[in-house]
Structure 1
Amino acid sequence: MPDPSNCKTSWLETLPLNLATLGAAGRMPKAPGTWGSLVAAILAPFLFLPLPMWGRVAVLILLFPLGSWCAGRAEKSMCRKDPSCVVIDELWGQWVTLLPLLASDTLWIIPAFVFFRLFDITKPWPVRASERWLPGGWGIMIDDGLAGIYAMMALLACRAVF
């Protein structure tokens, strides 16, 4: 496999790779998915939760094809299927989890983060199977969206109890 650090690439190749890895988050030596989810959780009160519901839905709708394209480009440039450094899918899945929260619900981001990581790591049915439903970057993104839906349901159940 070629070492991407030895390649001379144009901005057209480095931009999608940097977006796919959320900069340094995906390049952390241990648990890049957790770091990507943490970045998403930290950014949410500033970039996601202040938006009205229609704005959040629009962001998620736009982020899916953008993330899929970036993840697919990263796969090709790294010559690896679903490289662990690609964490834009964690951003999307984490924000799916946070969709029903209000901007003032910042403390609920912590259990949302925990629930999302739990479902993203354990991959209950059909999360694991969904990775094969779509090719390339689309498959990378879809499983995190489903994990995000599971996590959102767990978060809403937790909120109803507490």
Structure 2
Amino acid sequence: MKKTSPIDTFATALATLGPIGHFPKAPGTWGSLASIVAAPWLFLSLPMWGRWAALATILLIGIWACSRAEVVFDKKDPGCVIIDELFGQWLALLFFQGMPIWYLLVGFGLFRFFDILKPWPVKWAENTFPGGLGVMLDDGVAGLYAMGGLHLLHYILSM
């Protein structure tokens, strides 16, 4: 890790969601789990316009923070950078309100599946866009896949 300025310290703290990104094993999974646990209070309780605003804010801050973190850690998409998991995980839940806990668990599982497997265009987004934009967008695409899977499951169960 390079010597950092206070602004770099702040950016890396945002990018790693504080200490969560520094957990010793599977920081992306821990970041997704923290996102799912926080979602009912910090995301799903918002009106739809608030959810869109939250996602836009996380995306913009995440692009900046991830770009700075790549410089600080001198690595493309360092494993400890997990604000992208927050973005993708919450994107998967965007259109749900009052969901049962097991939906949250399925959303978590679907998001992790697509984030780890990286089917097209998840991997493409990661490799095509530079810096923090690529870091954030690949999880955004994985979140869209998870959103589709969760809505398909909801549709099937409501038949």
TM-score interval for Structure 1 and Structure 2 normalised by the shorter chain = over 0.9
Q: Does 1:87 align with 2:82?
A: yes
CA distance in 1, matches of 2:119, 2:49: 29
Partner residue, 1:151: 146
Of 18, 25, 33, the match for 2:28: 33
TM-score scaled by length of structure 1: 0.92
CA distance in 2, matches of 1:63, 1:106: 25
Question: How many angstroms does 1:116 deviate by?
Answer: 0.3
Q: Does 1:131 align with 2:107?
A: no
CA distance in 2, matches of 1:49, 1:106: 12
Unmatched 5+ stretches in structure 2: none
Residues 76-109 of structure 1 deviation map (CA, whole Å, 9 limit, x = unaligned)? 011111100000000000000010110x214111
State whether residues 45 and 106 of structure 1, in contact with CA within 8 Å, keep that contact through their aligned partners in structure 2: no
RMSD over aligned Cα atoms: 1.1
Q: What SS is found at the alignment partner of 1:132?
A: helix
CA distance in 2, matches of 1:121, 1:134: 18
TM-score scaled by length of structure 2: 0.94
Residues 16-55 of structure 1 deviation map (CA, whole Å, 9 limit, x = unaligned)? 1011001111111111100110111111111100101111
Unmatched 5+ stretches in structure 1: none
Of 134, 137, 146, the match for 1:142: 137
Of 99, 105, 108, the match for 2:99: 105
Q: Report % sequence identity.
A: 49
Question: How many angstroms does 1:160 deviate by?
Answer: 1.2
CA distance in 1, matches of 2:111, 2:100: 16
Of 40, 52, 60, the match for 2:47: 52
